Amino acid sequence: MYEVFRIIREVNARGVAVLLVEQNVAAALEIAHRAYVLEEGRIVAEGEPRHLMSQPHLQKAYLGH
């Protein structure tokens, strides 16, 4: 995992809320507690990462599955 993501986890473990805006969807969802999917500036999906990753249209659009 990237060094930045390791540091983000450490900061969050200390009780600090972190807002992460990231284009690497898979890496971001691995460390997120909650996620929002934006398309053209609008929220099109939100929820727990495992729920978002289980949606076929989101897998295809953002995870290449």
pLDDT digits (tens, 9 = 90+) for 32-56: 999 998 889 999 999 999 998 898 9
Domain count, the chain: 1
State percent of the chain over pLDDT 90.
55
pTM of the full structure: 0.74
CA distances from 50 to 11, 14, 23, 34, 53 (A): 22, 23, 17, 9, 5
The percentage of the chain sitting over the pLDDT mark of 70, rounded to a whole number, equals 98
Structural domain containing residue 32: 3-63
